[in-house]
Amino acid sequence: MNRDEDVLDTWFSSALWPFSTLGWPDRTPELERFFPTDVLVTGFDIIFFWVARMMMMSLHFMDEVPFHTIYIHALVRDEKGQKMSKSKGNIIDPIKLIDEYGADALRFTFAAMAAQGRDIKLAASRVEGHRNFATKLWNAARFCEMNEAARVDGFDPAACKLPLNRWIAGEAARTAAAVTEGIEAHRYNDTAAALYRFVWNVFCDWYLELSKPVLSGEDGAAKDETRACAAWTLDQILALLHPIMPFLTEELWQLTGEVGPARRAMLIDSDWPQLAGLGDAAADGEINWLIQLIGEIRSVRAEMNVPAGARIPLVLVGASEEARRRAATHGETIMRMARLSAIDFAAEPPAGAVQIVTNDGIATLPLADIIDLAEERARLERAIDKIDDEIRKIGAKLANESFTARAPEHVVEEQRERMSEAEATLHRLRQAVERLQGVA
């Protein structure tokens, strides 16, 4: 390993080190005897030359095991999977990445890509994407501040009355369990994935958006509960994310602590979240129904090339009493987030409507007066033919043993990635065509 690779390897080990030294709140001296926190973090390429010798020398001279757990991480390569080399000119300087995107973004990138048995193909674009993740969290904290979402002393998420707040408390509990499990099992990519989903998709994209009507409404009790719950959820996010992004989370911890009860300690010295027991099946069902409906409507609009500014009606077919109640409760939110003109109910699907199957019935979108359905079907079928042809060509190339044996590894891997992306696109296109089946 040359010096440049060694620098990156050292940075990667440093990025994972907080996990290996993390002390859990319920750890006791007795448990410490049997489950020590001493973890050796190393690359697989020096197991024989360094790790095995450390073990043998310690047993021989010290009569003790030097470490009880060895975390073997991947090697850091360039974005094409090639080893970094000055002669190739593909060296990535971690200091420059930190200067441009921040240390937390680089740390999150390493954690997110730390899947066992797979080398890391590092590219500046990946670090940039996680810098955007950090910006997303910062903006969420700003949203909470602007809407006076301050921490409340003694706040109990289990006592929330609004389904939206009970739902986010349950999501926080499930995320905390997943993050804890990922860290304890040294599956840091699973930890990062759980955090990314909860912060970006659940908290920012859905909870904060769905809370806007409450925060701008006239119900004072509902607003107070939602503000307190948003602040509590943000606290849990900062604590769970702290091992990977310590600088950003500590900064936000101090800033959000300026309002409400005083912080008892810095974030690094705070207890790990213990959220078992939170969650409500009824709240989960209601909010997940709402999210699925809005998400499916957005997908149909994108698949069918419905103009972004067009307001379309939604017709719920054969809706149950529960679905009617949910539609009445969340009607304003559904219409705003899915850009609808009205929500109606019917026993049969209207003519010229695209159907969406949900967990609680069928939702339809009458699009005949907005787009040319025949032309749209023809466009989708042409796209399917084109992607089918691409899949056949890539499949033939990958089936050619001469190609897979002689081509550089990164070229073969690139073809496999193209195949995976093409198959995913084909699946979406076929789903879109199926929605048009039977539409007059």
Q: State pLDDT tens for residues 106-159.
A: 999 989 988 776 777 888 888 999 999 999 999 999 999 999 999 999 999 999
> So what's the pLDDT on residue 425?
86
Residue 425: count other Cβ atoms within 10 Å of its Cβ. Answer: 16
Q: Tell how strand 39-43 and strand 69-73 pair up.
A: parallel
CA distances from 271 to 24, 61, 101, 240 (A): 8, 39, 29, 10
Please report, rounded to a whole number, the percentage of residues in the chain having pLDDT higher than 70: 90
Matching residue, tokens 């699009």: 367
Asked if pLDDT for residue 5 goes beyond 90, the answer is no
The per-residue DSSP string of 75-118 comes to PEE-TTSPPP-TTTT----HHHHHHHH-HHHHHHHHHHT--TT-
Q: Nearest-CA neighbor of 14 among 41, 38, 39, 48?
A: 41
**Would you state the structure tokens that stand for residue 390, as one six-digit string?**
């691409």
CB 433 within 8 A of CB 380: yes
Give the H or E element holding residue 362. Answer: strand 361-366
CB 330 within 8 A of CB 209: no
- Torsion, CA 199, CA 206, CA 363, CA 307, rounded to 10: -100
Residue type at 239?
Answer: A
**Would you state the structure tokens that stand for residue 322, as one six-digit string?**
């529960």
Tell me which of 81-85, 95-99, 109-113, 211-215 is least confident.
81-85
Phi–psi pair at 73, nearest 5 degrees: -95, 170
CA distances from 130 to 39, 81, 389, 425 (A): 27, 20, 35, 25
For the sheet with 312-317, list strands across it. Answer: 340-346, 312-317, 361-366, 353-358
Tell me which of 115-119, 140-144, 359-363, 417-421 is least confident.
115-119
Please report, rounded to a whole number, the percentage of residues in the chain having pLDDT higher than 90: 48
Q: What value does the mean pLDDT take over residues 83-106?
A: 87
CB 100 within 8 A of CB 244: no
E strands present in 19-97: 39-43, 69-73, 76-77
Please, which residues have CB within 8 angstroms of residue 64's CB and are 6 or more apart in sequence? 58
Domains of the chain: 3-124 (no CATH), 126-281 (1.10.730.10), 292-366 (no CATH), 373-436 (1.10.287)
- State the pLDDT confidence band at 438, using cuts at 50, 70 and 90: low
Whole-number Å distance between alpha carbons of 346 and 319: 8
- Measured CA angle at 11 (ends 8, 13), to 5 deg: 110
Residue 412: count other Cβ atoms within 10 Å of its Cβ. Answer: 17
pLDDT digits (tens, 9 = 90+) for 224-250: 999 999 999 999 999 999 999 999 999
CB 114 within 8 A of CB 74: yes
Q: What value does the mean pLDDT take over residues 332-354?
A: 89
Q: Which residues of 160-190 are buried (b: 16+ CB within 10 A; e: fewer)?
A: bebbbbbbbbbbbbbbbebbbebbeebbbbb
User: Mean pLDDT, the chain, as a whole number?
Assistant: 85
Whole-number Å distance between alpha carbons of 358 and 317: 11
pLDDT digits (tens, 9 = 90+) for 282-299: 999 999 999 999 999 998
pLDDT digits (tens, 9 = 90+) for 149-177: 999 999 999 999 999 999 999 999 999 99
> So what's the pLDDT on residue 37?
53
- State the pLDDT confidence band at 186, using cuts at 50, 70 and 90: confident
